[in-house]
Amino acid sequence: MKQILAIGFCLLTFYSYSQLNTHKKSYDRCDTLRGSLRAERTCFDVTFYDLSVEVMPEKQFIKGSNTIHFRVMEPTNSIQIDLFENYTIRAIETALTSNPQQLAFERECQAIFIQFPYMLKVGELHSLTVFYEGKPQVAKRAPWDGGFVWDKDEEGEHWIGVACQGLGASSWWPNKDHLSDEPDSMYIHCTVPNHLMAVSNGNLLRTQPVDTSRTRYDWKVSYPINNYNVSLNIANYTNFSDVYFNEDGDSLHLDYYVLPYNLEKAKKQFEQVKPMLACFEKYLGPYPFYKDGFALVETPYLGMEHQSGIAYGNDYQTGYAGRDFSQIGLDFDYIIIHEAGHEWWGNSVSKKEAADMWIHESFCTYSEALYVECIHGYDIAMDYVNARRNRVANAKPMVGVRGVNEEGSDMYDKGMLFLNTVRSIVDDDEVWFKTLRAITEHFKMKNTDYDELTAFISKNTGKDLSKIFKQYLTYPNLPEFEYKLKKSGKLKYKWNADVNGFSMPLKVKPNNAADFVLLEPDSNWKKIKLPNLNINEFAIDHQHYYINVK
């Protein structure tokens, strides 16, 4: 565990808290089958998953079934679901009928094409069950390189976790593995040896013995959920609970699942949760999953934003693995704050495909700054934002390649710096925070994309931000402010950018004593006379605008 954390922090120094995203030079049919919305996917809409899995720790083996309920959107006799090739599919059957019918299927890469002996008509509700088994992919470095984590705790008990963001939920259970389609709700049943507890998403409905050696845990998710957010956590857990009351008096049940010998440390460390929730609700609106509660689950890997059951592996330390991630001396638990931010950004407001992962990570990382502003004030928050500048590579776009399941890069720290820049462009905090809350309300439990979200932000702020978003998100380069100063007080300036017709306001200060002056640069040279200009004291507002200067 300690070694994993140390490795993770070293990587973080160069790449930020992210998967190591690098665009492929070429893509093949397997990438397209995984990442694109082909007819075999768009023809049906998943409404409910009923997943049942038995986990056998000694064999590092799983077997189970998933019943997929769906509505037909286009006439078809063939649909695509997904499951990694290391699993054996024992059968696929029609479900919820007195005489289940075996369905024929073919596999290509990770795609499973299921054939029906009759046409499915628009509007019809159908269901099928996939029975499967196999050895899951072992995570080499969770959560960045995903899969199952088979570990032991300090007392020699099995300690198992799953993290599959990027890798895909089809790495351990059969589903329609495209981010545009989430079930409306879900059951997760997990059978484990008697001495272990299985913790998943949502609420625990019941625990029941299977036989003398095995117990099944039945969990229910009441809301739409990203497939990669579905997770299993298996250990000799102990549980303690609390309640958070918001300003309106609504109650949110808090559950914590930790290893028994860490119980007292956990009770102390998790005191950060209530003030954090209050801060996020202040800026982002109500916690999205009140019926399912909020949970932290101790895991053998660093952390992951699993909906209503967040993976926590920061070893009860401050910062990131005990190091000052803020770089300015702040001592909060980074994993609690960051992963909980994803309940709004990613778990509720969700992307339609991998290319728009920036929606999850940029807004979530910016939420860290809002937490700092809430607890420590605006000036400290600005220090927190700008301390991240040296972590950004600006080598690849934040938006990934579409249709091939490819994420972008630099979406964490650059995303936070960019959103802080947008706040400065809006230059009206009432409008800015009203816009953030409008996003979380309008897109609550929905999937969105670059075009839809950026248009929504422009409309709600009353400013056309389309070219600004395009420059920062679809090109690796920052806009460059080029200027020339003369002792006479004349300033000549313009923007150099990849986007034609780029324009963006910027504040400059003629001298140390003066207030900032708002400029309106575009791609053409402009001139202005700055009174009381001191060339040696002239300053550009780098604190609020993330730009290059020439």
The two tokens of residue 3 are 């070694």
| pLDDT tens track for 101-148 | 999 999 999 999 999 999 999 999 999 999 999 999 999 999 999 999
Confidence of residue 25 (pLDDT cuts 50, 70, 90): low
Residues 218, 141, 408, 386: is their CA dihedral positive or negative? positive
Per DSSP, what are the bridge partners of residue 234? Answer: 160, 198
| pLDDT tens track for 436-488 | 999 999 999 999 999 999 999 999 999 999 999 999 999 999 999 999 999 89
Residue at token pair 């005489």: 99
- Checking if the pLDDT of 276 tops 70, the result is yes
What's the whole-model pTM score? 0.94
Single-letter residue type at 48: F
- Determine the Cα–Cα distance for residues 253 and 328; give it in Å rounded to an integer: 33
- The whole-number pLDDT of residue 24 equals 61
Give the mean pLDDT of 272-292: 98
| pLDDT tens track for 66-104 | 999 999 999 999 999 999 999 999 999 998 777 899 999
| pLDDT tens track for 376-386 | 999 999 999 99
Distance of CA 430 to the CA centre of its chain: 26
A 10 A CB-CB count for 512 gives 10
Tell which wins on pLDDT, 262 or 5: 262
| pLDDT tens track for 326-335 | 999 999 999 9
- The radius of gyration of the chain from alpha carbons, rounded to an integer in Å, stands at 25
**Cβ(399)–Cβ(358) under 8 Å?**
yes
Confidence of residue 11 (pLDDT cuts 50, 70, 90): very low
- Determine the Cα–Cα distance for residues 351 and 420; give it in Å rounded to an integer: 21
- Checking if the pLDDT of 56 tops 80, the result is yes
- The whole-number pLDDT of residue 281 equals 98
**Cβ(170)–Cβ(84) under 8 Å?**
yes
End-to-end CA distance of the chain: give it in Å, rounded. Answer: 45
| pLDDT tens track for 179-237 | 999 999 999 999 999 999 999 999 999 999 999 999 999 999 999 999 999 999 999 99
- The whole-number pLDDT of residue 99 equals 85
- Determine the Cα–Cα distance for residues 273 and 209; give it in Å rounded to an integer: 33
Confidence of residue 288 (pLDDT cuts 50, 70, 90): very high
Lowest pLDDT segment from 16-25, 41-50, 253-262: 16-25
Confidence of residue 26 (pLDDT cuts 50, 70, 90): confident
Strands (E), 135-287: 147-152, 158-163, 185-193, 197-199, 203-209, 214-221, 233-235, 238-245, 251-258
How does strand 44-56 pair with strand 61-72?
Answer: antiparallel
- The whole-number pLDDT of residue 95 equals 85
DSSP conformation class of 266: H
Structural domains of the chain ordered from first start: 1-35+353-358+376-476 (no CATH), 36-313 (2.60.40.1730), 480-549 (no CATH)
**Cβ(233)–Cβ(217) under 8 Å?**
no
| pLDDT tens track for 491-544 | 999 999 999 999 999 999 999 999 999 999 999 999 999 989 999 999 999 999
φ and ψ at 246, to 5 degrees?
-85, -175
Torsion angle in degrees (nearest 10) through CA of 513, 519, 523, 529: -70
Average pLDDT score, the chain = 94
Three-state secondary structure string covering 300-351: CCCEECCCCCEEECCCCCCEECCECCCCCCCCCEHHHHHHHHCCCECCCEEE
The two tokens of residue 261 are 């010998």
Sheet holding 87-94, edge to edge: 87-94, 125-134, 61-72, 44-56, 185-193, 214-221, 203-209
